[in-house]
Homo-oligomer: A and B are copies of this chain.
Amino acid sequence: MIPRYSRSQMTAIWDPQTKFRIWFEIEAHACDALAELGVIPKESAANIWAKAKDVTFDVERIDAIEREVKHDVIAFLTHLGEFIGPDSRFVHQGMTSSDVLDTCFNVQLVRAADLLIEDTKALLKALKRRAFEHKMTPTIGRSHGIHAEPTTFGLKLAQAYAEFDRCLARLEAAREEVRTCAISGAVGTFAQIDPRVEEHVAKAMGLKVEPVSTQVIPRDRHAMYFTTLGVVASSIERLATEIRHLQRSEVLEAEEFFSEGQKGSSAMPHKRNPVLTENLTGLARLVRGMALPAMENVALWHERDISHSSVERMIGPDATVTLDFALARLTGVIDKLLVYPENMQKNLDRLGGLVHSQRVLLALTQKGVSREDAYRLVQRNAMPVWRGQGDFLTLLKADPEVSKAMTPAELEEKFDLGFHLKHVDTIFRRVFGAN
């Protein structure tokens, strides 16, 4: 988590103040439930809320206590006691540190997921707007980096929309994976605390109860969460890579937005680098790499060991902050992307009509020319075009053997872009619905 690649809303989730706030809420809600069950006095539960609900915790003070007692939750409770007074003895009763730590971590991950979901929706909105804007902007489709057949720039963006729409569903599933609360004691048996406390706190914090915990919430949930982030990052890389390709000097069909004031733009007008999407490519690598330790965290020993903790202290903030930043950056890139339809057309035309050779070949055979002959005819007109000697349609029209099979009008029809775009509507309906 480095400032350069962070946004404040997400970093706030991982702020110590936020963490202590969540800890307090878990403890206070637990007190409510304990009071309801008659374990502690109702006035004490009320007093705990009253005394601390508007408090700003002194993070440095808590850190100082932790250095002494070497225990983060005890340090917090000690500090909390300074606000609450005698009733603080009712706080954390029958609970174990992990009850607070694990439930808090899940609250943070759920909130992080909420932001990532919001980010993705913003990205989808930008993709949709630009997709409709360029729904019928013809561009060459490429397989293997080689010109294949025409498509539209809108279709490229519709594909990205459909992909991030899947990512949205995945993020929602990932959010649901970690949306659990555990207040179940040292090995998860509820020996010291009634399961109804867990139920109450879960509800109050917007979580479900963890059906069976073992001091800790099982880490397969978190593995699923972080691998999902890795997949979303990979989709970011895909779209970023597309833009990097489109911005190459030789292609130049689109460019990241470049503000007029940006230094050096005019003396070297060609030197506009796709630095944002290159950056996104790197960020995707980072998020993807964090999926691995998350998966290795699953196999804790027996009821729990604490090896997952150092991993999560790092990847919890790092993966969510980086992905949030990346999604927002990508949204900005899409939103302001400079699109050059004329260059798309120029590239479409640059092979002198050869992208239509397949259609001509097929048409010839449909006119009764044998496959071998059709192939020979296409070939002898394609080769000069490839060597830069003429235009494919012109040469075909001038070829007497071709002319015997097809009229000029029939040939021209085979060079019609409309042929390739006739199902764009269908695809858009599939992706964006009936609107």
Contact = CB atoms under 8 A, between A and B. Distances in A.
A18 interface: no
B231 A298 contact: yes
Nearest to A361: B267
A191 B302 CA distance: 35
A146 interface: yes
Interface string A203-243: 00000010111110010110110011011001101101110
A398 interface: no
B285 A296 contact: yes
Interface in A269-304: 269-275, 278-279, 281-286, 288-293, 295-304
A350 interface: yes
B296 A249 contact: no
A311 interface: yes
Q: Is the interface of A mostly helix, strand, loop or mixed?
A: helix
Interface stretch (A40-48, A108-116, A156-164, A402-410): A156-164
A137 interface: no
Nearest to A419: B191
A301 B142 contact: yes
B386 A145 contact: no
A94 to B, nearest CB: 9
B269 A386 contact: yes
Contacts of A231: 220, 223-224, 227, 295, 298
Q: How many copies does the complex hold?
A: 4
A347 B248 CA distance: 12
A145 B238 contact: no
Nearest to A312: B282
A248 B383 CA distance: 18
Interface stretch (A30-38, A51-59, A99-107, A374-382): A374-382
Given A282-B311, A291-B295, A250 B167 contact: no
Interface in A184-198: 185-192, 195
B266 A379 contact: yes
Contacts of A268: 354, 357-358, 382
Contact of A351 (B144, B192, B249, B305): B249
Contact of A244 (B145, B147, B308, B310): B145
A149 interface: yes
Contacts of A186: 141, 143, 148-149, 358
Interface in A122-179: 140-151, 155-156, 158-159, 162-163, 166-167, 170, 173, 177
A187 B383 contact: no
Given A186-B141, A190-B423, A383-B266, A295 B302 contact: no
Interface stretch (A21-29, A79-87, A332-340, A424-432): A424-432
A15 to B, nearest CB: 13
A303 B148 contact: yes
A284 to B, nearest CB: 8
A417 B162 CA distance: 47
Nearest to A213: B159
A266 B386 CA distance: 9
Given A166-B220, A430-B211, A272 B146 contact: yes
Given A141-B303, A143-B302, A191-B422, 19 more contacts: A74-B263, A140-B249, A144-B278, A144-B304, A145-B247, A148-B303, A151-B303, A155-B188, A170-B224, A186-B358, A220-B238, A237-B299, A240-B299, A248-B251, A266-B379, A268-B354, A281-B299, A282-B297, A282-B306
29 contacts: A141-B187, A141-B189, A141-B302, A142-B301, A143-B305, A144-B274, A145-B248, A147-B271, A148-B303, A149-B189, A150-B189, A151-B303, A159-B218, A173-B173, A192-B362, A211-B431, A212-B427, A220-B235, A224-B231, A235-B298, A245-B302, A248-B250, A249-B351, A269-B386, A279-B306, A279-B307, A282-B293, A286-B293, A291-B291
Of all A-B residue pairs in the complex, the 10 with the closest CB atoms, nearest first, are A141-B187, A144-B273, A282-B310, A234-B298, A285-B293, A269-B386, A281-B307, A142-B302, A250-B250, A266-B379
